[in-house]
Structure 1
Amino acid sequence: MSVDSTPGNPFTLNTDDLARLEAIREGLLDPSPRRIGRLDQWGLADTFETYTLTSTYAEVSITMADGTVLDAALSVPRDLAPGQTCPAVVLPAPLINIGHRAYLGMFPRWALGGYAVLAYSQRGLAASKGEIHVAGPQDVADASEIVNWLVGQDAVDPERIGFFGSSYGAGTSLLTAARDPRVKAVAGTSAWGDLFASLYENGTRHLKAFEALVELFDEERCSQEFREVIQKIRANTIDDQVREFAEARSPRNHLAAYNDNRTPILLTTAWHETIFSVPAVVDLFTRLTGPKSLLVQVGDHGNGELPGLAGLLSKPTEMAYRWMDHHLGGSAGDGREPRFGVRSEYMHNLLSDLRHPDWESYALPRQRFHLADAAAGERDGQLTPTGPRPGWSRSVKATGRSTEAVVAPKLIQTGLAERMGLPHVYRTAEIDRGLAAIWATAPLEQAMRVQGDLEVRVTVKPQEKNATIVAYLTDCDPATGKATIITHAPCTLTNEQPGQATTVAFPLQPAHYVLARGRRLQLIIDTHDPFFADANTAPSAIEITSPQGTESYIDIPLGTLD
């Protein structure tokens, strides 16, 4: 499924995607030659003809204990012998206005693999009734009731239940597995580990992504609790209610349940993820002690699994089929064993495929580059590995407007272009050095690889009591000054004394990036990015310094390209 390129919500499907899904649905409800034949324009007629001959499909309404009716679709294999049962997979819908229909393209693979399939829209989404609770306790309780209903079907083996979900559906799947031991395996694509870290990174609100999600939820359909949280996040009132709301919806807070049950968990995310915190997903993965797998791909939220949800090939969905086959005994995959440990692509090579047993062996040792003053005749500072460089300062103006450096010009769509080998080009030579401070390495003497976790430490002296800075690490061509982004992170200081120097160390998003010989690593620090909330008072100034004893640096997991 492609993302609509028109302005508006980045999660909206285009007209052809919607027409294809509606044609699939009509063909499943009425599997006549005429209806199924319509799918030939997308090359799907043979696939769905085979599916309808081997499995039943029905749209069902499932009533929760409080009377709320959820919209769902059930598929069951036709060729089961009397008394024979099959594994089942439950698919909570992603956050999209068509709800569970987003998974229709996957039904043939699951069904032909011998699975019963139940896809449903969580309360408040699409045609389901009730209010939206954002994968809260009510949604988890609903998911358990869905399992109750499913295991009441004669064909379903209650000991072989798995959950697969994308994005919002991934969160619901993970949280349900923590509460319901009947869930024997989980695959969550574009998953989140910590909802608070996703909303509020290094003290900075992710407002652009948050507002895009709220628009898609539709505030009128949200619970009173969620509406209150929405207003508090907009007003920057990050109190106990907001924290408790996020903590209840964070899989990372349920590690004891996952590890006690040894729940097999597959997680996928993306290097340029702009919706959920990648460090939190990595942290969840590293702290799991049961069977686990982590896939990190080129691109942004939801990019990697889009073809797979449409019934085509994608790494996330192929891994999910193998995952469920291995743990539940179906045959939807290609027969290969699932990959445990870390599987990754590097930016911007969609065809790259690396494998490591765990994050510790995956991440390269970090090399420290010290921030130094500019060399004689140069306007930008230096990133040097030769020792701390105290005693310099750089002043940047906070004006409320951004520079050429931004996290992503467009949510989702910028990452989608990266997957096609078309990363956004930043004209860093044109950045106003009054609005941003820049440091760069010498040209690399050989091709190098950035692979793992990064951290920046700087001392910040704002004129006002609150300050936001945003750091970007880029791959820069010294001949043209043009660059592509490797990673980024914001950091906000609050309730500081005006003019008081404060040293802050904060993580950047982990990265996997290959740099060609002759390129420069370039660190850019400015004061505004439209992606984040801005705590600066404009106009004002922020001084970035490197005092003796707390010298500024960036730690980069850097190694030669094998």
Structure 2
Amino acid sequence: MSFDNTPGNPFALSTDDLARLEAIREGMLDPSPRRIGRLDQWGLADTYETYAEVARYTEVSITLPDGTVLDASLSVPRDLAPGQACPAVVLPAPLNNLGHRAYLGMFPRWTLGGYVVLAYSQRGLAKSTGEIQVAGPQDVADATEVINWLVAQDGVDPGRIGLFGSSYGAGTSLLAAANDQRVKAVAGTSAWGDLFASLYENGTRHLKAFEALVQLFDEDRCSQEFRDVIEKIRNDTIDDEVREFAQVRSPRHYLNAYNDAATPILLTTAWHETIFSVPAVVDLFTGLTGPKSLLVQVGDHGNGELSGLAGLLSKPTEMAYRWMDHHLGGSAGDGREPRFGIRSEYMHNLLSDLRHDDWESYALPRKRFHLADATAGERDGQMAEGLPQPGWARSVKATGRSTEAVVAPKLIQTGLAERMGLPHVYKTAEIDRGLAAIWTTAPLAQTMRVQGDLEVRVTVKPQEANATIVAYLMDCDPATGRSAVITHAPYTITDEQTGRATTITFPLQPAHYVLPRGHQLQLIIDTNDPFFADANTAPSAIEISSPQGAESYIDIPIDTLD
């Protein structure tokens, strides 16, 4: 996650937020009344005055064996007794031009909880030298060197080391823990489980999110290996080099290492995550056999922990403090035990807070809704339980133009609005039915909840060899014709014979959503979304059908709301 003000940066903080961070840094470096007093305008003077009384903050440089210099900051409790050693938490930076300074808001909680804190900017980021490796093997080796440097400092207990990171820092934290058994606990917010799955879903490139990340990395600072991969992804050359690049950077690839060491791992993600794959995070969580916790919140990448990184309250950071306290013996949290298993919010209720032991007990049994043709006088097909509905076909045009249905009008900001109770409104009644096929249920007789994994099966016959479709499940209010997105997924068919009908079955992103009584479930399938790369040749057409023996359906984990 980034905190710079680059134009178009979906993670950008306001000018006031940046000024606050700089004032915090100056007050920590020089805790004089004048510097600390500047923080009064944000109500932070007391916090950092107390911090200065109990800890010493310095900005340091860590020189690695190859000469690369990492920019870092260190906080050590004052007045330690001779031989006294504290737990330590290492914070690899998120993706930003502030580097380790992005975590300054968390330092008081960690320090007052008795931790030594070391935050650092990974190579190529902020003021650190070297080339950006994207949490590659070199970054993992760097993390080991950083820990070596840390445990050589006075007051650090080498047997109680934890890693905390957000986004890019979460990935590095997880990968470093797989390599270094000195790491006794990990908390990764807005984490990823599988980098390839995040870039390439159901054969479809997540091009908009990929380009946003590349812009934040700054290609000129990237390694040649990464620049080669960037060009291959742009050119849709998904070869063994790209797969290997992603695999070694995927925590899910190191499940055996986590399980052999029984590493305690806390993960957080979001239902409307547009950067990293949510199913891959769920798969990582499910595959862990040691102490583990998964939080899934309303919103998009980085939304949930943003206030916590600034020193305010957030579920991800509060859970991280408790997690480290429980496993390392500090007291940064509120004294409560951490939650194990799954903790979730449902869209769009930030006050919801559900707990389940595992994904199996979390996900509801799926019900099959068959897709049927439109009845006389209706323009949309039907979606209902009961018998399969074969024998119909609908054609949608691929023009290279998107419909009203899109994953998110804006990366990150759309999810942030969801967290504020303002989900994007889709005017699905106005969608051109020549560009999209739509199926709708009858109005719901009761309030219902969708909770878990979804799957779609349809038969498609494109006019051209390659074709992309995008499916969206919506919550539609029939009184207004307006909808909100529940979940989505793309699917791309490649190298098929022109005009050949192919039955495809693919998962949608998992969801947790409550539908009011009287609303309808609505499935939309179109051929273009600016969020994804588009394999369609425009203009062309794609026929969607339901042949005998391979009838079309959507499986939805749904039940009445208790």
TM-score clears 0.5: yes
Q: What residue identity is the alignment partner of 2:324?
A: M
Tell me whether 1:83 sits opposite 2:69 in the alignment.
no
Q: TM-score, normalised by structure 2?
A: 0.99
Structure 1 residue 13, shift from structure 2 partner = 1.9
Counterpart CA distance in 2 for 1:415 and 1:42 is: 26
Is the Cα–Cα contact under 8 Å of residues 2 and 306 in structure 1 kept in the other structure?
no
Residue of structure 1 equivalent to 2:19 = 19
How far off is 1:2 after superposition? 11
Q: Which residue of 2 aligns with 1:445?
A: 445
Provide the aligned length of Structure 1 versus Structure 2: 562
Look up the match of 1:411: 411
2:294 corresponds to: 294
Could you tell me whether the CA contact under 8 Å between 1:407 and 1:531 is conserved in 2?
A: yes
TM-score, scaled to structure 1: 0.99
Q: What per-residue deviation string (whole Å, max 9, x for no partner) do you get for residues 328-382 of structure 1?
A: 0000000000000000000000111000111110000000001100112110001
Identity %: 85
Q: Counterpart in 2 of 1:172? A: 172
CA distance in 2, matches of 1:470, 1:16: 39
Aligned partners of 1:2 and 1:17 also within 8 Å? no
Give the stretch that moved more between structures: 49-58 or 10-19: 10-19
Q: Could you tell me which residue of structure 2 aligns to residue 494 of structure 1? A: 494
SS at match of 1:558: strand
Q: Are 1:123 and 2:95 an aligned pair?
A: no
In structure 2, C-alpha distance between the alignment counterparts of 1:341 and 1:495, rounded to whole Å: 42
Q: Deviations over 1:372-396 (max 9, x none)?
A: 0011211000111011100000100
AA aligned opposite 1:529: D
Structure 1 match to 2:353: 353
- CA–CA separation in structure 2 for the residues paired with 1:489 and 1:38: 48
Shift of 1:154: 1.6
Q: Are 1:50 and 2:72 an aligned pair?
A: no
What is the match of residue 511 of structure 1? 511
Kept after mapping to 1: 8 A contact 2:6/2:12: no
Q: Equivalents in 1 of 2:359, 2:74: separation in Å?
A: 38
1:476 aligned onto 2:460:
no
Q: Deviations over 1:213-269 (max 9, x none)?
A: 000000000000000000000000000110000000000000000000000000000
For the 8 Å contact 1:178–1:258, the answer to whether it is kept is: yes
Aligned-partner residue type, residue 518 of structure 1: G
**What letter matches 2:399 in structure 1?**
T
CA contact 2:163–2:183 (8 Å) conserved in 1: yes
1:77-118 deviation line (CA, Å, top 9, x unaligned): 113211000000000000111111110000000000000000
Matched, 1:99 2:99: yes
The answer to whether the 8 Å contact 2:2/2:11 transfers is no
1:274 — aligned with what?
A: 274
Unpaired runs of 5+ residues, structure 1, are none
Q: How far apart, CA to CA, are the structure 2 residues paired with 1:346 and 1:508?
A: 17
Aligned to 1:213: 213
Asked if the contact 1:3/1:413 (under 8 Å) is kept, the reply is no
String of CA shifts for 1:307-343, please: whole Å, max 9, x gaps.
0000000000000000000000000000000000000
User: Residues 472-507 of structure 1: CA distance to partner in whole angstroms, max 9, x if unpaired?
Assistant: 000001121100000000000000011001111111
Q: Determine the C-alpha separation between the residues in 2 that align with 1:417 and 1:4.
A: 20
- How far, CA to CA, are the matches of 2:9 and 2:158 in structure 1? 39
Query: Structure 2: any 5+ residue segments left out of the alignment?
Result: none
Give me the whole-angstrom Cα distance separating, in 2, the residues matched to 1:536 and 1:79.
Answer: 66
Contact 1:5–1:413 (8 Å) recurs in 2: no
Aligned-partner Cα distance in 2 for 1:97–1:390? 56
CA contact (8 A) 2:4 2:98 kept: no
Query: Which position in structure 1 is the counterpart of 2:388?
Result: 388
CA contact (8 A) 1:372 1:392 kept: yes
| 1:6 positional shift | 9.2
Equivalent AA in structure 2 for residue 294 of structure 1: L
Distance in 1 (alpha carbons) for counterparts of 2:427 and 2:79: 60
Say what the alpha-carbon RMSD is for the aligned residues: 1.1
Q: Is the alpha carbon distance of 1:3 and 1:405 closer, same or farther for their aligned partners in structure 2, counting shifts above 3 Å?
A: farther
In the alignment, the residues of structure 2 paired with residue 23 and residue 193 of structure 1 have an alpha-carbon distance, to the nearest angstrom, of 35
CA contact (8 A) 1:393 1:544 kept: yes
- State the match for 2:334 in structure 1: 334
* TM-superposed deviation, 1:5: 9.8
What's the CA shift for 1:3? 7.7
